[in-house]
A and B are shown apart, each in its own frame.
Chain A
């Protein structure tokens, strides 16, 4: 039988033990940062004008050199795809070596060492589509990283911490755009980060700088005077694979329904 005195003793004991627990609040770094500096004034976006792309591959070359992706490794942060639609309704598409050396032949690379020659008169339409990480507003790669090694910066760019990534490959699997791969040297997840080291210093990305035709542009969607933001706001642009709900932030002019 418990006496009243004992019950009170227990109650005080439990309360005393519980008091320090209230000090344990989960600290959210984002909240702390927002309290200090307010929401970010920058949200990086990318604009690709597919009408201007000729598939020269200078952007891929520049990216590989700038971001130290081994030149001959068959992975790349950015790449260019070629789409050829024939009059009989067939789709042919390829991206040999990510178009690092451009498209030097009219033959379509079918893989396994096979090539398809398409006659000019059979072509209904043909075009190039540069691809890169979409820096999604709702990035599935960030969601699935088990250790938090990949994260979204306040300005929207998704980054990878090479010192913390365990190399499980879950983020690679989760990306609907095929933007991610394992770095051949560091063996960690790797992807385009809009040349974060350059844009955060006011420079252009390597691919934007390398493109001789102005097919690639980067801008800040939160700045109404930004020319890229203006185009995205006022003109008709498209995004890739909207059905996944990832809210990609690379916008395309002249997107075709055949683009994958």
Chain B
């Protein structure tokens, strides 16, 4: 057993906590007094009663894979749990490069996710009271609000730059590389202007934009001591380059894996000893990540093997069982305070077979 391997007791306790949470959340969503119309109708057609029959996380295998088209095709009201009826909600979008985007509605989940995440940040690099720059996709995305909430929660304020990734994806699809480059420069210039004129210590951005900033200024010299990064895949080499060269080993780099549907998965601390390989752990029990065999998704793959990432979200605001992400990853063992599986070296599903327009920002 290595120093960072959680004890068997810790792993079992996490499993018990997850099973209890599953029972509570499934009961909530499938009870007429609290559940949402979508799931209540679904249960009527399914011919079984999840509220009574789901006892453990493994019982969720009785659900089919959640289809994200449902989030596009079903009216938003269909997802409102009765317990939240009458309360205005946020609408957060994902996708939408062409046509109607997928939408998740929410009330406070995103606050919880980021407050929980806040506790994992190192005060030396992300000091309380420090100001942030949010330099990532804005518009109808959770990130726009959550980074600001994170800054406020930690006693600072948050500056913003407008950034529309759908426009960039469209330019790239049309092979209009020149306009895409001009738009990138336009965004970078705004971020640089803020960094030069305001005291900013913490930064949220994507790997590509961090590289872009590095073309215009030295990020650590600009006063940044903590960089919270997310949005796209990061190969070990990318991470090493960002840490060793762009941040000159002077600012902390905190990669995360997350999206509108999940929340935020934290990474283990990065080290050269791990060959800069990133492993994320879901914010269990609110969300669970499994690495499954693409040909038999009921089964997880062995530790150390590649498989497709499956996400289950379990909050009172949103129940999403067994959603197959468009990503693949290596299944990794529980680690440290994360007494449950991790997902390593996440990359687009089928990355070796096909090129997708991914991670433009």
- A-B complex is real: no
